[in-house]
Each structure stands twice: as structure tokens, then as C-alpha cells.
A and B are shown apart, each in its own frame.
Chain A
């Protein structure tokens, strides 16, 4: 990212130095080609913030940015889970439906007088169980990831609908709501406060753990190796089978955690919650620079991707002149532009 000023400086000096410098840049870029999409996502995120600030104002301020984090904490958690799955070259389409099932079940149990902490644990375990089921189907019965998680998606959505088809309201005094307590870090003028909720903290912890596991442990190396070439990974003696099972459990568990965070924030659970979130999460991961074919990508990139999507929604809402029917078209086009931009960047890097 520091290339631009340097290039500007050298353009005034001798031709040989420019060539040398360009060579060096090219080598650098080639060495780190896989980081480029993530860097691009980051640049685009910053550009969106700058554009939003100039065009609509009130973007770079504590309240907007903390709301961005609070409102997208669940998406960040989902994106971390999907990063694992997509890195291995798989896909998990069930996360949105798991959130629906887990939150409806959680709210109903909580309203029925269950201990809130038991309920929270159950909500997370529902996710883990669903993930485990997909993992077993994929790993031991050779079902394609797409189909197995699609079946889980139908199953979870159907189970949620069987429980209830109307919005279920979480009791006002439920301890689950504690996850949405707003902690003021900096008390700004008027409502311009820097606010953090436990949900955001959980998301941050999930990101940190995800980062550590992927980039600092053997499991993480195995995940990348499977994405690069599953057969080679197996021939190298890596625990491919167990790891593939685990990543779906991780993805399901994180969906369960996302469900707790989301339910606590909204206080309402419904069987249609989370429709299309699997696509949002996939988009976040892809925007963040993870290849859909697996093998390359970063957890932090996915976080940026999730925030880009969140910011995009903020900008669309701020614009106001955009008809609500247009939102999905804009979402689609922006997602498309991102993919195009990244392809351009990768193409130049190679």
C-alpha cells in the first residue's frame, strides 16, 4: 500500500531506477499474490468510507462505526466459519437456516422458563450438531458439500417452521438480552458514543481464535493444504478426514454463536430469520479475498468483507433516494463489481 508515493517519487529520477523499482514491485507482488485480493478489499472498504463521508456525511463518527460493528457482529462470526469451509474448497449453505432454527428454539425454551445459560449452550450445540451432521454426510458418505449442507438448510428451516411460524419475542428480562448490553467506551457529544456490546466482543474473540487456528496451528495448515489439493494433503499424511469433519462442526458452531448474538440484539426470533444470510456470508468471504475454489484466503479478509457488505447497506439506506426494490439489484451489482475488481487484481499479480 506504500507503493504509490514511492512510485511517484521515483518517476522524477532516472529511467534505470524506475525499471529497477518496477521489477522489485513486480517481484513483491508475485511473492504475495494471494494477499492482493484482501488488500484490495481493505482499500475498497476505506474508499467506501471516504465516499460515504463525502457524499452523505456522518460516516466517520463513533456512533455510525459502532453501529456497523454491532449490526454486523453475527455476519462476521458466520464469515469466519465459512472461511474455514471455503478454504478447503467446500461450501456451507446451511448457516442461515441454522440461525433460524437455533434462535426460534432458544427463544421458545427461554420463554418456557429454562435457565438462560442452558438455553444459550443449547443454541450453540444445535449449530454444532447440524454442522456435525453435514460433516458426516460429506466425509463418510461422500455426499457433495453443496448437497449435504443444502439438505441441512432445508431441514433446519423446516424444523424452525415446525416450532413456530410467527415471530417469537424474547422476554424483556431474559438473561440472553445481556449480550446486547451497550457499553459506552467513549462518551461523545449527543449520541455520538463509541459503543461496544458483548456480541461485538464475542465476534472479536471468534475472529482472533479463527486467525490463530488458521495461521498458527497444524489444523490451519491442514485446512489450507486440503484446499490446495486434497489428494496431496492425504498423501502427505495430514489428517484430512478429521479436519474436514471439524471444519463443518466449526462452521455450524459459529452459526449457533451467531444466532445467540443476533437473537440477543433483536430480541425476536422467527422461522424466516436468516434467509439469504448464507449468501451474505459467502459474499463476505469472497469479497475478503478467499478463493471459492479453496486454498487461499484470510480470516481477516472475511471480516473486511463482512464490514464492506454492512457498510454498503448503510450507504444504501443513507442515500434515501434509492427505491427499496432497487436494493437487491444494487447489492448484486456491487458484489459483482467486487468480484471483477479482485479478478483484475489477481490477473495483474500473476
Chain B
């Protein structure tokens, strides 16, 4: 950021930044795909639908829900909290959408679609608010609060659909997930728009700074006059809302909500995306750009595993290996090996004063 830095230093700073390795990993994965199939990155234009077609587009489409929850979780983690409930909020949101549409009078109208989406987003925000109230006003640990919400959320979804995997038909909702605008998938455009709005709100106002302040030291931030409770409430509500959007994305592509599998373990994907992006789980700093890269990496990884023909049951193992490799690459110990021991600051204080 510093203008006076020389180019070399700037390059070094980029390499040292956590999400640099995320970008490297994305390119490595794409390279692996390219070696397997040299035409992997080809994009073709389909003039009848007015859309680009290609694997990259598929990756972007698949990344949209992960992007949404990753950004939400990123903000929550910045306050020193954690949101484990995003996957469950997704399935609740999907269940509301599908259940409303299948029961609507004119299931194929735009009005029904708008109402369903509004209802789903409202309920998701309410669930986020419940998390926020429990964390900010009741003072529960975020871990436990959202753990409870994660358990209960899936139950709520099952109650909404009465345990069924509800399907519905609605062209406008389907279009959101499968349609194209300006040649790109609508989901991805919506996701980008939401992220841009969130980034501007957070980074162009003091909101981001205040969120980080809470994460660094809640007591100090309160003494500095920050409305800690209000901010926490806002952050958890935003996370719930974004998870609700992700839930609509995830269910609209197949127009079915699978109460036991929609959003299953996606909270873990979201957290991984955030951490890959360089946001410390300890809170106090966040990088939305990093979370975006993390989410893209996970989407790329999912598609690569499919493309390489690895059985999809093995995806978690593959993911784990990539994640472990990333963690190792970004750890000081390994990096200092690369830096030929120029930097000798120890990570932790050594044994001190024996007597």
C-alpha cells in the first residue's frame, strides 16, 4: 500500500500476503486440468442463448453460493466470532423458497418468485439475528450459539418441508441459478454485485474498522465508544442474509431442496475459504478479497476433482490435502526455509531464565 515502497518490496509483500498462495493454488489446479485436457480453458459463445460456455463459467457458477457464505463468515470471524450455522441457514432458506413456490397459487409468476425469495431472505436474516442476540446480548460464545443453530437449522428446514425434499417449478427463480446476463451466469453476477456492495459499505465507511476493533479487543473498543452489541448483531444478521442468498442459489439450480444435503458441511467450506484468504480465526482483521479468492479456490478444487475423475466420495480427502499443503506453505516455519534463514525472529519466546 505504501507508495514509497520499491517494486521489489511490493512483490515481496504480495508473496508474503496469505492469499497469494490461494491464487497460486488456483492456477496450479487449472494447470493440472489443462495438462489433462488442453482445451479445458476454452470458452465458446453460444449465440442462441447469448452466453459463454466453458469450464471456467461452470466454476464461477459453482462458486456463487460459496462466495456468499464466505463473505458473511469472513465478517463474523473478523469480530472474533465464528458462524457454523451458514449451511443450515442455507437449507432453511431453500426450504422456504421451494415450499412457498410449490404451495403458491400461480407458481410460475414473477410475483410468487419475489415473495418466496423475500420470505426466505427474511427468515434467514431472522436466524442470523437470533445468533446475534445470543452472542451480543446474552453473551454466549459464538461457537456454541452457532453450533446450536447449525443443529436446529436443519431441523427447522425438515419441519418446514415435513421431512420431504420439496420441488417446485418457477421460471424466474430457475433463471437466477441457470440463466445468463451479459453472457455470464446470473448467480455469479448477483454474487459479485453483493460482494461489491458489502465491500464498499464495509471499507468505505468506518464499519470495517469498527468490526476489526471488536475483534482485536472488545473491552477497548467499548471504552472507545463503539456500539459493540449493535455491530455484532449487524454482522451476524448479514451473515444470515448472505447464507439465505446462497441457499436460494443452491436450491434454484435444481429447483429442489434436499433437506439433508443442501448446504451440508458448507460452513466448513466457508471457514476454509476465509482462512485461505488470510483472515485470522482469532479475529481482528479481515480481507474480503481473500475470502473471494478462497471461495474461488474451493469451487475450482471441487470442479477439478470431478474433472480428474476422482470419485466424488474422495473429494474431502483431496480437499484436505490441498488445505494442509496451503497451511504448510503459509506457515512461518516453511517460509523461513525458503528465505534462507534471513529472518531469525522466533515464533514463540524460547525457554527463558531457568532460575
Contacts and interface: CB of A to CB of B under 8 A. Distances in A.
A137 interface: yes
Given A140-B333, A155-B317, A340-B138, A332 B155 contact: yes
Nearest to A148: B327
Nearest to A133: B324
B156 A142 contact: no
Contacts of A151: 320, 323-324, 327
A137 B311 CA distance: 27
Contacts of B151: 276, 279, 328-329, 331-332, 335
B162 interface: yes
Nearest to B322: A151
A235 B139 contact: no
B273 to A, nearest CB: 12
B148 A333 contact: yes
Interface string A141-183: 1111011101111110111011001000000000000000000
A348 interface: no
Contacts of A237: 351, 354
B272 interface: yes
B304 to A, nearest CB: 14
Interface string A99-127: 00000000000000000000000000000
B281 interface: yes
Nearest to A280: B151
B166 to A, nearest CB: 13
Contacts of A343: 138-140
A334 to B, nearest CB: 9
Contacts, number: 144
Interface in B128-168: 134, 138-141, 143-145, 147-152, 154-156, 158-159, 162-163
A325 B138 CA distance: 27
A328 B147 CA distance: 12
B316 interface: yes
B271 interface: yes
B162 A325 contact: yes
Nearest to B332: A142
B77 to A, nearest CB: 10
Interface residues of B, number: 53
B313 A161 contact: yes
Interface in A323-350: 323-333, 335-336, 339-340, 343
Interface residues of A, number: 49
Contact of B333 (A141, A327, A328, A340): A141
A6 to B, nearest CB: 32
Interface string B297-325: 00000000000000101111111110110
Contacts of A328: 151-152, 154-155, 158
Interface string B316-355: 1111110110011001111000000000000111011010
Contact of B152 (A137, A152, A333): A333
B268 interface: yes
B159 A325 contact: yes
A234 B348 contact: yes
Nearest to A142: B331
Contacts of B348: 234
B333 A150 contact: no
A326 B155 contact: yes
A271 interface: yes
A143 B327 contact: yes
Contacts of B147: 279, 282-283, 335
Contacts of B116: none
B101 interface: no
A231 interface: yes
A327 B155 contact: yes
Q: A154, A283, A286, A331 — which one has the most chain B CB atoms within 10 A of its CB? A: A154
Contacts of B314: 158, 161-162
A324 B163 contact: yes
Nearest to A164: B313
A296 interface: no
Given A282-B147, A292-B141, A333-B152, A154 B317 contact: yes
Contact of A159 (B275, B317, B349): B317
Nearest 5 pairs between A and B by C-beta?
A158-B317, A332-B152, A161-B313, A328-B155, A155-B320
Interface of B: 82, 134, 138-141, 143-145, 147-152, 154-156, 158-159, 162-163, 268, 271-272, 275, 280-282, 311, 313-321, 323-324, 327-328, 331-334, 347-349, 351-352, 354
